[in-house]
Amino acid sequence: MLDPKVKELINTQINQELYSAYLYLDFANYYYDEGLDGFANWYDIQAQEERDHAMLMRTYLQNNGERVTLDAVAKPDQTFNSPEDPLKAGLEHEIYVTSLINTIYKAAQDVNDFRTMQCFDWFVKEQGEEEKNADDLIKKYQLFGHDPKGLYALNQELLTRTYAAPSLVL
């Protein structure tokens, strides 16, 4: 069993991760509309990773005898005026998610819940990678995205991203 507050925060985070998946699917939809199938592919895979995060947290709660409650997933409602807009929104979103993961980690630390801290060490590290990936995409777009040939090459590069299952196994 887990501390009720820690359990509640992780349960809420499942919803946040599913929202992240939804948000990135929405980004991918925008890029498909714009004919940027590589950017769309990158975010489709990102959405799969976010769903994985939700499933890992679900398994973690279930392995600890906790009942998981699913809530409604919010509607992504942003409008984009340039291919750079989702990239910036993505970085902003990941920074926000990092703060949520940190809150869970702190709540676990406050009650000496070393088991949750150990599990969430993975998510803490993962958020560092998520922020870096989002920031790298912005930098690449700013360097190459404003020239049609550069944008084409970047789109082709992003098309090569393939899905890999998460390294955390519960």
Please report, as ranges, the residues that interact with Fe ion according to CB under 5 A: 17, 50, 53, 130
Residue nearer to Fe ion on the CB measure, 7 or 53: 53
* Residue whose C-beta lies closest to Fe ion: 53
123 secondary structure, DSSP code: H
Q: How far apart are CA 58 and CA 123, in angstroms?
A: 14
Residue nearer to Fe ion on the CB measure, 23 or 108: 23
Q: How many residues does the chain have?
A: 170
Q: Please, what is the minimum distance in Å from the beta carbon of residue 147 to Fe ion?
A: 29
Residue nearer to Fe ion on the CB measure, 70 or 111: 70
The candidate with the shortest Cα–Cα distance to 134, out of 58, 76, 49, is: 49
By CB atoms closer than 10 A (0-12, 13-18, 19+), residue 153 is middle
CA 99 and chain centroid, separation: 13
Q: Please, what is the minimum distance in Å from the beta carbon of residue 53 to Fe ion?
A: 4
Residue nearer to Fe ion on the CB measure, 30 or 123: 123
Q: Please, what is the minimum distance in Å from the beta carbon of residue 94 to Fe ion?
A: 5
Q: How far apart are CA 67 and CA 65, in angstroms?
A: 7
Q: Are 58 and 14 in contact (CB under 8 A)?
A: yes
Q: Please, what is the minimum distance in Å from the beta carbon of residue 83 to Fe ion?
A: 20
